């Protein structure tokens, strides 16, 4: 029986442009993903008599086949039936530190961790690219979660152009515990309200992708990765999330939180993904803590949670192994 414990980092979107429609019904995107140090711990153990089990004590996390971690194990058992038969079933335990349903890819990261954990436990020797191909079958942002770091993503978010990893940027995360936003609702509402702005042809969509890949945000991140801290001050006007156009008017609490953090943070603030999490960028841990304290004082709501963390250049990472 082999057991691996893996860190499963959250991610934020520093840039999210909705480019247009896709033939499969999804949206064509151009987005910049960034891993952060806030991470779940996923324990993967093989040798469970041919069954798949998921255990997580966090409220709102299913312990059945609807959990992405379970689906990841099921996918691996289907693709590698000899390994599944040889090593037995899979037990998965998830220690949640990433808030649930927060637009931070917590569930996607857990699924990615199971793929990596079973590759190690079963001795498959899969490449990162092969793991990411499997991950794309689970969800649009699961491939990014495998490798993590910093990447520009296109397609549904599964086509990745890795960028040099950035890790010395701090941030404050904030989320109302009881507030959720439906991702399908956010995209469908955006289509209904702003579909006239979509790039309609493959050529027009490709041009939007190219503009994002060579845009000022990517250049600033590359400068930061190379050690040029002057690039930090350039980030504020480059942050973009198209979904704010529909989510913020529908959720005044998120809009108020985003505006407050944007006033407090010299480097700017933005909603991550479809929300409801909002992040504020900071130059240092102390500055992030000051922003957090000021925001908590201005909005003393017990339902509002905060985290101080930083960018991470790593994705799924084993932290422990036992046999």
Q: What is the pTM of this model?
A: 0.94
Q: In terms of Cα–Cα distance, which of 109, 94, 9 is closest to 60?
A: 94
Calpha distance 157→31 (Å, rounded): 7
- CB count within 10 Å of CB 230 equals 9
The reply to whether 273 sits in an annotated binding site is: no
Q: What is the pLDDT of residue 27?
A: 96
The reply to whether 148 sits in an annotated binding site is: no
The reply to whether 60 sits in an annotated binding site is: no
Helix/strand/coil for 293: helix
CA dihedral of 35, 97, 179, 197, whole degrees rounded to 10: 10
Q: What is the pLDDT of residue 323?
A: 58
The reply to whether 139 sits in an annotated binding site is: no
Q: What is the pLDDT of residue 227?
A: 87
What residues are annotated to the active site?
11, 141
pLDDT values of the chain reduced to their tens digit, one per residue, 323 residues: 789 999 999 999 999 999 999 999 999 999 999 999 999 999 999 876 779 999 999 988 999 999 999 999 999 999 999 999 998 889 999 999 999 989 999 999 999 999 999 999 999 999 999 999 999 999 999 999 999 999 999 999 999 999 988 888 999 999 999 999 999 999 999 999 999 999 999 999 999 999 999 999 999 999 998 888 887 888 999 999 999 999 999 999 999 999 999 999 999 999 999 999 999 999 999 999 999 999 999 999 999 999 999 999 999 999 977 65
Written as one string, the DSSP assignment of 87-134 is H--EEEEEE--SPTTSSS-HHHHHHHHHHHHHHHHTT----HHHHHHH
Helices and strands in the chain: count of H runs, count of E runs = 11, 12
Q: In terms of Cα–Cα distance, which of 100, 99, 3 is closest to 43?
A: 3
């Amino acid at each position: 029986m082999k057991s691996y414990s893996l860190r499963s980092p959250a991610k934020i979107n520093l840039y999210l442009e909705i480019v247009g429609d896709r033939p499969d019904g999804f949206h064509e995107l151009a987005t910049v993903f960034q891993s952060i140090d806030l991470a779940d711990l996923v324990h993967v153990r093989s040798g469970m008599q041919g069954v798949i089990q998921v255990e997580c004590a966090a409220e709102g996390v299913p312990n059945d086949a609807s959990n992405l971690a379970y689906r990841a194990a099921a996918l691996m058992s289907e693709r590698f039936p000899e390994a599944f038969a040889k090593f037995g079933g899979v037990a998965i335990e998830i220690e949640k530190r990433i808030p649930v349903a927060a637009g931070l890819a917590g569930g996607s990261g857990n699924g990615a961790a199971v793929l990596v954990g079973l590759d190690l436990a079963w001795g498959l020797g899969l490449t990162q690219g092969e793991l990411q191909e499997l991950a794309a079958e689970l969800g649009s942002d699961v491939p990014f979660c495998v490798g993590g770091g910093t990447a520009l993503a296109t397609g549904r978010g599964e086509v990745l152009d890795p960028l040099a990893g950035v890790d010395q940027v701090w941030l404050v995360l904030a989320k109302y515990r009881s507030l959720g936003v439906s991702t399908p609702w956010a995209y469908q509402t955006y289509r209904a309200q702003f579909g006239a702005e979509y790039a309609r042809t493959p050529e027009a969509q490709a041009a939007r992708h190219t503009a994002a890949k060579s845009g000022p945000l990517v250049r600033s991140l590359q400068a930061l990765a190379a050690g040029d801290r002057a690039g930090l001050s350039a980030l504020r006007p480059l942050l973009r999330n198209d979904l704010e156009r529909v989510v913020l008017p529908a959720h005044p609490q998120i809009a108020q939180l985003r505006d407050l953090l944007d006033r407090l943070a010299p480097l700017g603030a933005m909603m991550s993904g479809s929300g409801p999490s909002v992040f504020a960028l900071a130059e240092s841990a102390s500055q992030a803590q000051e922003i957090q304290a000021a925001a908590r004082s201005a909005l003393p709501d017990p339902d509002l949670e905060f985290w101080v963390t930083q960018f991470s250049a790593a994705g799924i990472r084993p932290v422990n192994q036992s046999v």
